[in-house]
């Protein structure tokens, strides 16, 4: 089956519709590498699709990613990793699972079992039902865009000027006179505590500027405020991290420190 006619292409097209943008298929990052080949070179591993404006990577993992399948695994042939293709696939999937979030991106994995599929993992392509499922799965990514948009409008109203981030993975950066603000945003998510911890870690990695005029911001929806405030206020003050809340009505407020 041609890639354009595959279940993967069908699912990624649904993601395009939900996110309102066309993701880059088979995108390769400089930091996502395979194992060295016979010549010592490491190729960049592709991801199924990447939406730069949303900071989202989607992987559609069919049955061969989760269970042995001789047709795909080719157990008698070793790869550059010293294992057969099925084991290498699992190794590289785990590498994606680790490195994509570490580089400030949201990884979303969709499987046939999430959609209307048969026992072989082939999708029946019940478009309306599948679209609703994809929309639910991607909702946190879409909500993060809402949070960033609301905060950007608030910044402008407060006299800040959003600028192109120094670090491409930064959600928002703005200046006001000699002041600079570097922000990390999170949308509504099922893993509120984990995502808050990740956001703090992302801000810590961006603290190369030691100027007292530079502050850092964690911007979260109301549902995540309690989890973000588990880091004590005095610690946030020492790290120059301000916590902002974005309500469901897109009202922005700075939490007391």
What digits encode the pLDDT tens for the residues 107-130?
A: 899 999 999 988 887 899 999 999
Residue whose tokens read 């990793």: 81
The stretches in the chain having pLDDT less than 50 are 1, 70-73
- Which pLDDT belongs to residue 83? 59
Report which DSSP code applies to 255.
P
* 3-125 carries CATH number 3.40.960: yes
The model's pTM: 0.59
Q: Where in the chain is the domain with CATH 3.40.960?
A: 3-125
CATH number assigned to the domain covering 141-254: 3.40.1350.10
> Is 62 within 8 Å of 112 (Cβ atoms)?
yes
Distance of CA 11 to the CA centre of its chain: 17
**Residue 192: partners with Cβ closer than 8 Å, 6 or more residues away:** 223, 224, 227
For residue 209, what pLDDT is reported? 80
Neighbouring CB atoms inside 10 A of 211's CB total 10
Residues of the chain with CATH 3.40.1350.10: 141-254
d(CA 45, CA 33): 5
């Amino acid at each position: 089956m041609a890639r354009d006619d595959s279940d993967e292409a069908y699912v990624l097209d649904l993601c395009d519709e939900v996110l309102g943008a066309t993701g880059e298929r088979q995108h390769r990052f400089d930091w996502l590498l395979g194992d060295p080949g016979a010549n010592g070179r490491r190729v960049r591993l592709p991801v199924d699709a990447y939406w730069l404006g949303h900071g989202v990577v989607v992987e559609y993992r069919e049955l061969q990613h989760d269970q042995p399948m001789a047709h795909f695994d080719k157990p008698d042939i070793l790869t550059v990793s010293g294992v057969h293709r099925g084991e290498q696939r699992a190794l590289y999937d785990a590498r994606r699972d680790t490195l994509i979030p570490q580089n400030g991106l949201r990884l979303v994995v969709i499987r046939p079992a999430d959609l209307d599929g048969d026992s072989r993992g082939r999708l029946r392509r019940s478009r309306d039902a599948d679209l609703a499922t994809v929309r639910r799965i991607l909702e946190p990514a879409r909500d993060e865009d809402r949070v960033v948009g609301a905060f950007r409008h608030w910044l402008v109203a407060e006299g800040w000027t959003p600028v192109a981030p120094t670090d491409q993975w930064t959600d928002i950066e703005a200046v006001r006179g000699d002041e600079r603000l570097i922000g990390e945003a999170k949308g509504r998510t099922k893993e509120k505590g984990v995502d808050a911890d990740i956001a703090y870690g992302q801000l810590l990695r961006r603290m190369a500027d030691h100027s007292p005029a530079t502050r850092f911001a964690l911007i979260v929806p109301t549902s995540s405020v309690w989890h973000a405030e588990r880091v004590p206020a005095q610690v946030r003050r020492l790290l120059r991290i301000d916590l902002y809340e974005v309500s469901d009505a897109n009202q922005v407020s700075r939490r007391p420190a």
